Amino acid sequence: MHELSIAESILEIVTESVPDHDKRVLSVTVEVGELTAVIPESLQFCFHAIIEETPYKGAQLIIREKKLTGECRKCGSGFTIKNYFFQCPDCGSTDVQVTGGQELNVTELEVE
Amino acid sequence: MAEIVTVERQILKKNDEIAAENRAVFRDEKLFVFNLLSSPGSGKTSLLEQTIARMFSKYKIGVIEGDVQTDLDAQRISKFDVPVIQIVTKGGCHLEANLIQNALANFDLSGLDMLIIENVGNLVCPSNYDLGEAEKVVVVSTTEGDDKPVKYPNMFRVASAMVVNKIDLVPYVEFDVAAVKKNARSINPELEMFEVSCKTGDGIDSWCGWLEQKIAQAKSGAAV
């Protein structure tokens, strides 16, 4: 259940980004990569549980899931990594750099 | 009137910043630090006992034990004359960099050659939290499934070594050592692999040999 501590970190970022309490936060958008093993449903649950007693109560959490992608260091080919099989589909090399799927970011807030 | 505020912030940035501070402390001390990870019951503490027993006459070793409750693991380690600190997470499923930083305040690192951080038994959550260590080592045992690497890919991707423990039980269990290695390699081709039995001591020499190399690298400032 690291979703709880991730939700707490999201709340911290929201608090720092909206110091003006006259503004109401409507939604928080986050990017969650496939490789981070964060379960969106758990994150939703934890986020809503911890904002209950804050001025952000009622804010929506929008989770954008990011696919695991890689780039071959040998032939330069870019591809989606399926079933966590870190091999280039073009040349067969296993020297693969992960280019996506490790994201854990707050990207934007909608306020009014 | 609703407006969009662009934020673009890494959720774990605070943790990563503290981990970088920890890493700088370790580098200044020329100290090799590894983070030991596994499911509950794979034998992390047993591996520590074997490792310390084998190495403590030659190297100064310190241990940080992370557990959800109790200091039982620290008690097991305290029979050796090595400094050990217990972190009790009180329900938390992983260690975070600030817990290590707080523990370091009460830990004299000077003269230490190797610091071992035994994480909470869990193959999911700890993989996202950098503690400032040089290496992550994942333990998998033959009483588990040989499909562990593909079930917990992030952990095996971020680890630099995998220790297969309880190798003495292979004749009695449905665990294929070649399969676990193949599964692990498909996720992380550069993973170092060791087969050990903490019961019989098999394979411990080769594992400790790798640690000795890492200690030497840290001393020469080549690591990290």
A111 and B2 within 8 Å at the Cβ level: the answer is: yes
CATH number of the domain encompassing residue A30 = 3.30.2320.50
Does the CB of A62 have a partner CB in chain B at under 8 Å?
Answer: no
ipTM metric: 0.86
Q: How far is CA B16 from CA A30, B77, B96, in A?
A: 18, 29, 9
By C-alpha distance, the chain A residue nearest B15 is: A9
Which pLDDT score is estimated for B223?
47
Task: Please say whether the beta carbons of A11 and A54 come within 8 A.
Answer: yes
Task: Dig out the tokens for B149 from the structure.
Answer: 């690497």
Q: What is the pLDDT of residue B1?
A: 81
Of B9, B15, B94, the CB nearest to A13: B9
Residue A82 lies in a domain: no
- Residue pointed to by tokens 């870190």: A86
What is the predicted pLDDT for the residue at B222?
65
Give pLDDT tens digits for A68-111.
Answer: 999 999 999 999 999 888 999 999 999 999 999 999 999 999 99
Domain count, chain A: 1
Domain containing A19 equals 3-67+101-111
Per-residue pLDDT, B224: 47
Burial B100-109 (b: 16+ CB within 10 A, else e): bbebbeebeb
Segment holding B38, helix H or strand E: strand B32-38
Which positions of chain B have pLDDT values less than 50? Answer: 223-224
pLDDT digit string, tens, across residues A31-72? 999 999 899 999 999 999 999 999 999 999 999 999 999 999
CB of B7 within 8 Å of a chain A CB? The answer is: yes
pTM summary value: 0.91
**Domains of chain B with CATH codes:** 13-220 (3.40.50.300)
In a domain, A49, yes or no: yes
A96: in domain: no
Q: CB-CB: which of B8, B94, B128 is closest to A107?
A: B8
Within chain B, residue ranges assigned H as helices are 13-28, 44-55, 72-77, 97-104, 148-151, 153-158, 177-187, 204-220
- What does the pLDDT look like over B52-95, one tens digit per residue? 999 999 999 999 999 888 888 889 998 998 999 999 988 888 99
A20 pLDDT above the threshold of 80: no
